[in-house]
Chain A
Amino acid sequence: MRAFGITKRINSIKFSLLSPEEIRKMSAVKVITADTYDDDGFPIDKGLMDLHMGVIEPGLRCKTCGGKVDECPGHFGHIELAMPVVHVGFVKNIKNYLDATCSECGRIKLKDEEIEIYKQKIEEAKAMGASPMQLFVIYKKIIDEASSRPICPHCGAEQKKIALDKPTTFREEGRKLTPKEVRERLERIPDEDLPLLGINPENARPEWMVLTVLPVPPVNMRPTITLETGERSEDDLTHKLVDIIRINQRLRENRDSGAPQLIIEDLWELLQYHVTTYFDNQTAGIPPARHRSGRPLKTIVQRLKGKEGRFRSNLSGKRVNFSSRTVISPEPFLSINEVGVPEKAARELTVPIAVTEQNIEKMREIVLRGPNPKKEDGKYVPGANYVIRSDGRRIKITEINAENVAKKLEVGWVVERHMTNGDIVLFNRQPSLHRMSMMGHLVKVMPYRTFRFNLAVCPPYNADFDGDEMNLHVIQGEEARAEAKILMLVQEHILSPRFGGPIIGGIHDHITAMFLLTHNNPKFTKEQAIHLLSYLNYDTLPEPHIEKGKEYFYGKDIFSLILPKGLNMEFKSKICDPSVCGGKCVFDKCPIDAYVVIRDGKLVAGTIDENAIGSFKGKLLDRIAKMGSNVVREFIDNLTRLAVGVISYIGFTTGIDDEDIPEDAKLQIMSVIEEAENKVEKLIESYRKGQLQPAPGRSLEETLEMEIMGVLAKARDEAGKISARYLGLENPSVIMARSGARASMLNLSQMAGSIGQQSVRGQRLHRGYQDRTLPHFKRGDLGAKARGFVESSYKKGLNPTEYFFHSMGGREGLVDTAVRTSRSGYMQRRLINALEDLKVREDRVVVDTGGNIIQFKYGEDGIDPTRSSWGENIDMEEILTDLFGEEYLLRRRKK
């Protein structure tokens, strides 16, 4: 049931040890039989599945509280141990206490005045707010000090050395101490001395660490599983408890009948083993208890520990309802705020709506439609799956009862209606490395079976469409819905807090399209312009440009339509090449149109490419983002639509023939490589003759390798330059590389020119056969080709040895990624764990939840990195252009 009004909070949780009395007191039954069910499948009385400990079978009622399966929380039972046994988790504590206290009088082996000093110290430390870990250090010191005393300062008894025989046996000068003796000694320690040993006497007594009675967990903590065959299978804990009861029984019988000491001791030890493994089945020094099949049992510690343990898998992260997962695909005609949800999912995922006087008619209509409404006018309409009555009863709506339920509907009920357009949901892709991995989207119900979203939202999720799947969660509460809408909506996350620039923005084709639209300002006829603009929501054309009586429209003017008004800025395009103007920028007169000038929301000059609209790099995007999230959202929506329009109208294609270079160029590349190979040969020769001078601090071999690598890298660059000379900006591949849409000039030169040196661990390939990489080469050949230099291009194709070398380099890359993800994942987990509690106070002081001050002013200036301009707290240029406009921009150029 939904709780209304003020919700309660747990204030604190206190930890302490259970005393034997407490265990008996909270026990619902004393378990004495090792059996579980009788032949009829009914739980045996006083057995491990006793009905007093709760029920797991529907139909039965708990004998303690009378509850049924989901009502009874379960109750503990207990086992009286015939002989005490040590609790494995406390073995180290027990050892410390035995060492630090007198074996005769039980006092801590410190003088009274020392006791006073240390008590004071502990108080001081506590008053200063020492963390538990810091207190442990003090306790450890006290224990060490007390343990080193050979004679008790209180009673003068001489102390014998106690050794711990792992895991659970104590020996005093070789003589075995039975748990009983250990317990007796611990009992003698007075309450006053306990704080010095790190024990709070209100919570724990040392002798409780030696068990005389064992709590039996409720049955719903260790349920019986019934297999399809009707066979029953007990939980690992139950198995372990059976063992304990059996041995306990035998031990009691033998002890009572006065069996020989040897037999009793053996049984006692066996009981100790079972209790030990019941707690922790991975205790060092003893073999783990195994299931019949040979699988080690999963006992208490194993249940809690590690990634799959209770803490990390069920408490820190929880499974949820109202979520779905499917494959993703792109849809440029959706806003970046939206997500396309398949109808099928929309009908399954529901939003709870409280019925009020205002919406009751609407709700009736929805309920009436039932769980599978037909489309109305070919449009999706929401139905409902359940209604929840005011008393909390849940009614499933079927086609049959829909009418009935709708009639009965009243204010105060809750209708779980289907998801519909405009609902806000959380959308997520794993791994969730930053907060942009889970953002709020508005639903748009669509046909087919994939989730769809705008391509500009790929970078924050790091998503592509090669089969990626994503998760979607429907928000179930009003507060959460409001928070999601205000804080989590995609448009609020366009700027990344990591570097203070846009993370949502143009990728791949968006950039290519904008380049085609704006570079060198192409002309479009009226028909063409109208076609392009039909992708946008604009009904007025820009000012036409008349030439020979015909109306033309410029690409830059069309782009200007989507720019917000009042925007002034200047910056360099990605395609800027200082070698063209000799390092002296000529601004808007740039010969390659690489200087962007925007005046009052009009693109005056320059090419729009990655530096303007790219995600991570878009300066223009960053500027617009600072004008408000609605403004950027609109800009990016328009941008993606326009990009689709432009690129599909103009057309853009690339193929391997893009990398065709003239025969002449090929010859040049060949000669460069040949020259480099000759140089390498010469180097090797001089090395062989001993003429090579070693670099300081390097061996001769290392020097040679370094030199060779240098020569070959230079050759590859040279080859790249030659091929680049023949690949101009009219070439689609080059457009992509230079505008920053995809790939780089290096990739192109590897396709057209030469692939270059392959390496493993930063060195030329050298392992494989004896003194050679492959049997195709002579032993000891240090030449370029023998050590992984691939002189072919991807286009020409690799010869067999080159192909093999290339695969070796490629393999390293794969291994590297695999290793890296796990390592960086762990680092991030540790970072999050260390920093998760920090927050900024109203006065911008950073504190942790304990109230410790970490920083006096967040980031030394109190600025939010998200709102910064690439880390700069204020962007002077932006402020000056805003204040003084063109005047400033012109003044700036003069310098």
Chain B
Amino acid sequence: MTEKLALIWKDKIGNVESIKLNAPVYYAVDFPVKLEAPFYAYITLKGKEANYRLKISEVKDYEPLEGILKRTTKNLKTLLKIEEVQEIASIPMYEFKKESGEEIKRVSKYSYGILIEHGEFTIEKFRDMKPREKEIFEIAKKDHGVELPFSIVEKIAKTEEEYSMKKTELKRLIARVVEVYRKRLVDPYEAVGIIAAQSIGEPGTQMTLRTFHYAGVAEMNVTLGLPRLIEIVDARRDPSTPMMTIYLREDLRYSEDAAREVAKKIESTTIKDVADVITNITDMSVVIRPNMAEMENRGVRKEDIVENLAKIKVKSVVEVVGDDIKLKLSEPSYKNLNRLANEIRMLNLKGIKGIERAIVRKGKDNGEWVIYTQGSNLREVLNLDEVDGKRVRTNNIIEIADVLGIEAARNSIINEALDTLHQQGLSVDMRHMMLVADMMTYNGHVEAIGRHGVAGQKESVLARAAFEITSKHLLAAGVTGEVDELKGVAENIIVGQPVTLGTGAVVLIYKPKKR
């Protein structure tokens, strides 16, 4: 059913809510509909992703009926009978294709599109317990009533094999492991959050502030040390030095030439890179003077430039004069001339947008060739056939969240932060960083540590007021009549009573025996 052409239109949340409330209902729209009922329609709220799916059972010309809902008040053309509205996990617009096969980028009013079939996605479990591991797990559970964590079971199994243990030895080993495991568990009510924050914050004073060359690839600068750590906890949308490490498909990865080929393909080339752009004020034109050496180097032909010039939005006439390409403004205007020149300079000729530079290096371990890039565009790189998608890495956390989902983003926060700390020779337990990452991602999207993120979301007025922007929070609390339940730490300190963590989390009352 999805391969059928569907109608997509942009609407306001208020309208959607009323349709939802009244469905089935007639809905008047201000555009003609060429599809025959029944069909599916999608509503987009922001134009970039479909948020609702509707079942349409009837299409007819607009007539003012009783009890109909309207998209707008003017220019109504068609009536759609909407049977039901489903709220769906948002489908990005590029998942739709126009009839012509073109991708839809955004919907401003309405559009038709076919949802692209992706086939089955199989989610691979990272690893299941091996039979032997399962047995060990069961022994521990049966004999000691403890469900050992996977990592520990794994270690036991490995040790058993390595030292070819006897059965009694294994039993003794498991018993001891369980004993040690129990001893090492965290104490209940431990303030793990504070410990994590301190453990990450304390070494911050020992870190450098400088940008370094990336190990192995001297050509690239990478933000490291404290600034990078701050960047990670800030959940900044664009890291100051976005970077990717791209691994190649099995059959290409040992050939330098193939790697270079791919690198050339992804490195974005703008006209600025291969030609001089000269503005001529006297006759209101812009001249592109290609640099032949660079052109060859980057694999760009003159025709490519001419072809791509069609994308230019400023109206102009293209003319080829010898080696040069001349663009003349249709209507003379200094402002537009400037805009035209700028647009031409930044025009992407080939490659992937955002990837400024791609460098091929031999990997450290097995002699395979790896591409390192400055700039990051995970979505597009993953789409390339030549790439081993499972191993591609980027340091842009938000991008990972967008493309691969929140769990991937969480892991990436942990890895990036720990790498940053280790690079400075500081050891910090992984569990602390996990907690920070989980705090940043537990509600489904990446949130910054700080006033605009986690701290601003706090339930308590007093805690928010004590953190930043005191007066705003207090005044707003008065208006909405907020009630501070005094559950958190900061609030209780403010009113001067014990906090509800650690020894304060338990209530102990001593009742003396009556004599």
Contacts and interface: CB of A to CB of B under 8 A. Distances in A.
Interface of A: 6-7, 9-17, 89-90, 93, 113-114, 117, 121, 131-136, 141, 145, 198-200, 202-204, 280, 301, 304-306, 309, 311-312, 315-316, 318, 433-435, 483, 487, 497-501, 695-698, 706, 761-762, 816, 819-821, 823-825, 827-828, 830-842, 844, 846, 848-850, 852-855, 857-865, 867-868, 870-871, 873-874, 876, 879-880, 882-884, 888, 891
Interface stretch (B193-201, B307-315, B322-330): B193-201
Q: Which 9 A-B residue pairings sit nearest by Cβ, starting from the closest?
A: A828-B201, A838-B193, A824-B204, A859-B431, A835-B193, A200-B481, A203-B481, A831-B197, A861-B149
B478 interface: yes
A698 B450 CA distance: 37
B184 A868 contact: yes
A833 B163 CA distance: 48
B36 interface: no
B466 A832 contact: no
B456 to A, nearest CB: 6
A433 B205 contact: yes
Contacts of B455: 830, 833-834
B381 interface: no
B359 to A, nearest CB: 6
B476 interface: yes
A827 B234 CA distance: 9
A630 B64 CA distance: 88
A405 B429 CA distance: 57
21 contacts: A89-B475, A113-B18, A117-B18, A121-B17, A200-B479, A203-B478, A306-B470, A311-B494, A498-B203, A498-B428, A697-B220, A762-B212, A828-B198, A834-B453, A835-B196, A838-B196, A840-B188, A858-B186, A858-B431, A865-B195, A879-B173
Nearest to A310: B470
A851 B399 CA distance: 30
B219 interface: yes
A15 B453 CA distance: 23
Contacts of A840: 186-190, 192
Contacts of B195: 435, 497, 865
B151 interface: yes
B480 A198 contact: yes
Contacts of A816: 208-210
B427 interface: yes
Contacts of A697: 219-220, 357, 359, 374
A838 B357 CA distance: 43
Q: Specify which of A434, A500, A761 lies most central, judged by the most chain B CB atoms within 10 Å of its CB.
A: A434
A433 B495 contact: no
Contact of B439 (A204, A834, A859): A834
B487 interface: yes
A855 B432 CA distance: 12
B472 to A, nearest CB: 8
A782 B427 CA distance: 40
Interface of B: 13-14, 17-18, 21, 149, 151-152, 155, 159, 163, 169, 172-173, 176-177, 180-181, 183-205, 207-212, 218-220, 226, 229-230, 233, 357, 359, 374, 427-432, 434-436, 438-439, 442, 449-451, 453-459, 461-463, 465-467, 470-471, 474-490, 493-497, 500-503, 505, 509
Given A858-B431, A879-B176, A891-B163, A836 B439 contact: no
B442 A14 contact: no
Given A133-B457, A824-B201, 17 more contacts: A12-B483, A14-B482, A15-B461, A15-B483, A136-B476, A199-B479, A202-B481, A315-B493, A706-B218, A820-B208, A831-B201, A831-B233, A838-B193, A839-B501, A839-B505, A857-B149, A861-B149
A876 B162 CA distance: 12
A301 B469 CA distance: 10
Contacts of A891: 163
> Considering residues A10, A834, A852, A864, which has the most beta carbons from chain B within 10 angstroms of its beta carbon?
A834
Question: Which of A280, A862, A882 has the most chain B CB within a 10 Å cutoff?
Answer: A862
Interface centre among A202, A304, A827 (most CB of B within 10 A): A827
B429 A865 contact: yes
Nearest to A497: B195
B429 A204 contact: no
Contacts of B467: 833
A836 B490 contact: yes
Contact of B429 (A15, A93, A824, A871): A871
B165 to A, nearest CB: 10
A498 B431 contact: no
Contacts of B461: 13, 15, 132
Contacts of A132: 459, 461, 476-477, 480, 482
A671 B159 CA distance: 54
A721 B477 CA distance: 67
B159 A880 contact: yes
A305 B486 contact: no
Nearest to A888: B163
Given A434-B199, A840-B186, A855-B434, A835 B453 contact: no
Given A820-B205, A836-B194, A204 B479 contact: yes
B230 A882 contact: no
Given A827-B229, A850-B487, A882-B176, A839 B191 contact: yes
B470 A309 contact: yes
A309 B471 CA distance: 11
A837 B429 contact: no
B471 A204 contact: no
Contacts of A9: 486, 497
B172 A883 contact: yes
A512 B486 CA distance: 53
A828 B152 CA distance: 32
Given A132-B459, A304-B470, A862-B186, A820 B207 contact: yes
B293 to A, nearest CB: 13
Contacts of B200: 828, 831
Contacts of B187: 840, 864
A217 to B, nearest CB: 15
Contact of B477 (A15, A434, A501, A857): A15
Contacts of A113: 18, 21
Nearest to A203: B481
A838 B465 contact: no
A830 B470 contact: no
Contacts of B18: 113-114, 117
Nearest to B22: A113
Given A305-B470, A836-B490, A840-B186, A830 B233 contact: yes
Contact of B454 (A89, A200, A834): A834
B194 to A, nearest CB: 6
A842 B187 CA distance: 8
B190 A873 contact: no
A841 B466 CA distance: 27
A692 to B, nearest CB: 15
A131 B484 contact: no
A838 B198 contact: no
Given A145-B14, A840-B187, A17 B219 contact: no
B315 to A, nearest CB: 34
B497 A10 contact: yes
A830 B450 contact: yes
A16 B21 CA distance: 34
B436 A867 contact: no
Given A316-B490, A883-B172, A13 B201 contact: no
Contacts of B457: 131, 133-134
Contact of B205 (A312, A696, A824): A824
Contact of A819 (B14, B209, B374): B209
Nearest to B175: A883
Given A498-B199, A698-B219, A10 B495 contact: yes
B456 A133 contact: yes
B192 A311 contact: no
Contacts of B21: 113, 117
Contacts of A499: 199, 427-429
